[in-house]
Structure 1
């Protein structure tokens, strides 16, 4: 990526989460000169590894979808291939009406193809309501529809409240009666537009999946925690000549005739291109002057906040009490505070190997519209988690160490019309030379989607700059690389 004057193009990446780091890694590999600017004192965004009572754990996202390739490929590219590990168990439970039952199989994100798989989850009335799907006329979904609204219309609210909500709501920390079907489960949207019966459409999706015979684990973790991935990517970026600055918030972006001026509190950096890998509210503020249309759309993106309560117990006190499997999900309709619990020492072999005498688990609290829980102090969140765990499993032991991690504004919401909003944002941003956006607010909240978003932005910037003969060097005000 060399211009006619022999200088490397300089790209500034605003945001040091996994999306921004993936973009920086791609750009360094393309030959660009890269500077990453992160406002906080650490990299990784919602990926954070650490220790509790000496046991390595994740305090943020803990796994990545393995059947979407971007994140696993990135981990291998930065030297973590030998540390990739699938979950030790794929079984989980549902804490439904006060009883722990095995998580049903044979569904697509909680939507079943056969009522028989939900006999332990639904009431007799709920099962009978599902059967009406076969005779109901097709539900028109138009350009988009809330997944909860659609499934309730076809199968009844009980299916939504008891299975779809805890499964899909757990991914987005959102309300499935608001969540876009096209954005969150596009395969289900396709089925809804092709079949009169929802269950018939789900069975067809299941037949296709069986015909494709996908092998290998569905999810993947990393020995030491998914939170070790950002550090490994950052080291690879530095090894490729990139510069990474933390505690360096970007205050303004200005486009001149030939380049970008990126203003920080320590000076102004000149760049040929900018990858804006910041949350939507931050991106909105930075684009207010250069792209008011994009800024308005970005300002409308809502976020949910949540807390993770991580607890370490003496293994001998809890191992025999807790049910088998990797943990359990909780339907919000039952009114409990926690939304899920993960038994980390069962789910991840490396947790148990590094701390064989401990049992580590975590609970999640809060979702869109329930931020009031996050204002409780740490002790209260630990106590309410222990209370719900005791009610669900009979656990009475006290933890030897706890940690509460609050993810304020952690998960962007994908309401009906989200994809149209993203298209409008990208259309407006495309009018700005040498600038692209990426991150969880656009194409998916999972780690592979974020990595893919960053790589897409990097590729588009690289392609544009390759065709641009005017390159800038150095900085103004002494803040550059």
Structure 2
């Protein structure tokens, strides 16, 4: 019999799940992808600021994780992968730009010297004496990054190095993020017996690192991946068709979608966990209860096209210290970060707002004003005139990213394990928020469904 599978959610996780199902099940399988939005892609979103197309959601993927590069290679897009240039981000703190602390692991330095002028003498003494202080560490402890680093290295390191780094990835402060969830190598080093935070960081940094670039992007933006992936899936993609409920029925499942009941043999749910909780309430109540507890961090991106010839700070971006008193949390100097953008058009950049507990409630005009004012401040700190902004686009992400609080991964594993056969979960809540992690979670969800279907 021809299998019928529904995928709820048309972001990169849902589209990858549909593609993986197609490759495993062949051309005859009926695969429907439901999405409440008017376009597939989710956080892979390309919009125009005047004549310039800009990614205003995810903009890059980690090459050293294999999932994204493997997928784009399968799809014939390997020739469109581009690498960032040699410039590094700067930290905005104390009214000036500072070099990014290094050596460091996700902003956690290997010693006081790595912090440069971001800290004072008292902080230096605290950091350099950390290895001599007893460390009370319980293997497997559910501790936040902020709590650990604050205790061992002080407030300034958290606010001026760790917060800026993690905030750019998770839209949250280090105090809200689990160590094992967001810096697993550091948690593993401590679990393995490192006698101080300093020695744990140095041990990680001493390990051989893969060569080549860390990040990659697609020359045409993420819209290229969405277009090609949608086509390769061979799925029926149903935009503006929200699913309201999933129920079990005669060994399969019934979806309430846009007021119609539709039958399927299996379902992959690839929407944010708080939405998945509503869908699964009837058919998987234990999983739904767990998923409903995951908080969301909203954010907004203001994309800017600058006047031709505008000079940019000599960095790939600006990460803002959480104690700097600024409204924006980061600036991606896209034309500095990606050489192919500098070759093909006017200077472009992105200004980011919003963290967990700090929702973006300002209207678009206010956001544009804030972006212009913050950019003028940052440019002045680099000795440059305020940029002339010619075109803008505002993209809001009201729900944004699921939060990786201490214990999050264990909770999500429990939610997966509690699902009945024929249901699977995929997305940014389960194995990491980045594009490679979402691709990996989608492939695992597809494998679970294929294993469930009759041979």
Q: What TM-score comes out, normalization by structure 1 length? A: 0.90
Query: Deviations along 1:374-418, whole A, 9 cap, x unmatched?
Result: 221212111111211111222423311111111111111111111
CA distance in 1, matches of 2:125, 2:276: 48
What stretches of structure 1 of length at least 5 have no aligned partner?
1-6, 468-481
Alignment correspondent of 1:117: 114
75-84 or 134-143, which deviates more: 134-143
Alignment correspondent of 1:455: 443
Alignment correspondent of 1:389: 375
- Could you say what secondary structure the match of 2:58 adopts? coil
Taking the TM superposition and a 5 Å limit, the aligned residue runs for 1:132-171 are 132-141=129-138, 142-171=140-169
CA distance in 2, matches of 1:79, 1:49: 20
Query: Deviations along 1:296-317, whole A, 9 cap, x unmatched?
Result: 111101000011011111122x
Query: Deviations along 1:223-257, whole A, 9 cap, x unmatched?
Result: 1212431221001112xxx2111111112211123
Query: Deviations along 1:444-481, whole A, 9 cap, x unmatched?
Result: 100000110111100111112145xxxxxxxxxxxxxx
The alignment status of 1:15 with 2:14, answered yes or no, reads no
CA distance in 2, matches of 1:119, 1:275: 48
CA distance in 2, matches of 1:64, 1:25: 19
341-350 or 173-182, which deviates more: 341-350
Alignment correspondent of 2:232: 236
Of 165, 187, 190, the residue aligned with 1:189 is 187
The alignment status of 1:464 with 2:452, answered yes or no, reads yes
17-26 or 135-144, which deviates more: 135-144
CA distance in 2, matches of 1:176, 1:101: 20
CA distance in 1, matches of 2:344, 2:46: 14
1:283 touches 1:298 (CA, 8 Å); kept in 2?
yes
Alignment correspondent of 2:434: 446
1:252 touches 1:264 (CA, 8 Å); kept in 2?
yes
Root-mean-square deviation (CA), in Å?
A: 1.4
- Could you say what secondary structure the match of 2:125 adopts? helix
2:163 touches 2:321 (CA, 8 Å); kept in 1?
yes
- Could you say what secondary structure the match of 2:313 adopts? coil
Alignment correspondent of 1:26: 20
Q: What TM-score comes out, normalization by structure 2 length? A: 0.95
Alignment correspondent of 1:270: 263
- How many residue pairs end up in the alignment? 446
CA distance in 2, matches of 1:51, 1:198: 45
1:56 touches 1:354 (CA, 8 Å); kept in 2?
no
Of 204, 210, 214, the residue aligned with 1:218 is 214
The alignment status of 1:378 with 2:359, answered yes or no, reads no
- Could you say what secondary structure the match of 1:422 adopts? helix
Report the CA distance between 1:266 and its aligned residue.
5.0
- Could you say what secondary structure the match of 2:386 adopts? coil
Of 362, 368, 388, the residue aligned with 2:356 is 368
Taking the TM superposition and a 5 Å limit, the aligned residue runs for 1:54-453 are 54-141=51-138, 142-193=140-191, 194-208=193-207, 210=208, 213-238=209-234, 242-265=235-258, 267-316=260-309, 318-319=310-311, 322-355=312-345, 358-371=346-359, 374-394=360-380, 395-429=385-419, 432-453=420-441
CA distance in 2, matches of 1:375, 1:161: 23
- Could you say what secondary structure the match of 2:451 adopts? helix
CA distance in 1, matches of 2:176, 2:244: 33
CA distance in 1, matches of 2:156, 2:307: 38
Q: Cα 1:449–1:90, aligned 2, differ >3 Å: closer, same or farther?
A: farther
1:16 touches 1:45 (CA, 8 Å); kept in 2?
yes
Query: Deviations along 1:211-231, whole A, 9 cap, x unmatched?
Result: xx4011100011121243122
Of 48, 53, 63, the residue aligned with 2:50 is 53
- Could you say what secondary structure the match of 1:45 adopts? coil
Report the CA distance between 1:98 and its aligned residue.
0.8
CA distance in 1, matches of 2:183, 2:366: 35
2:48 touches 2:393 (CA, 8 Å); kept in 1?
no
2:379 touches 2:387 (CA, 8 Å); kept in 1?
no
- Could you say what secondary structure the match of 1:171 adopts? helix
What stretches of structure 2 of length at least 5 have no aligned partner?
none
Query: Deviations along 1:315-365, whole A, 9 cap, x unmatched?
Result: 22x21xx3212111001111100111111112123322331xx11111101
Query: Deviations along 1:154-188, whole A, 9 cap, x unmatched?
Result: 11121111100100122100121121111111111
1:66 touches 1:217 (CA, 8 Å); kept in 2?
yes
CA distance in 1, matches of 2:263, 2:249: 10
CA distance in 2, matches of 1:114, 1:281: 40
Report the CA distance between 1:288 and its aligned residue.
0.7
1:184 touches 1:414 (CA, 8 Å); kept in 2?
yes
CA distance in 1, matches of 2:125, 2:166: 23
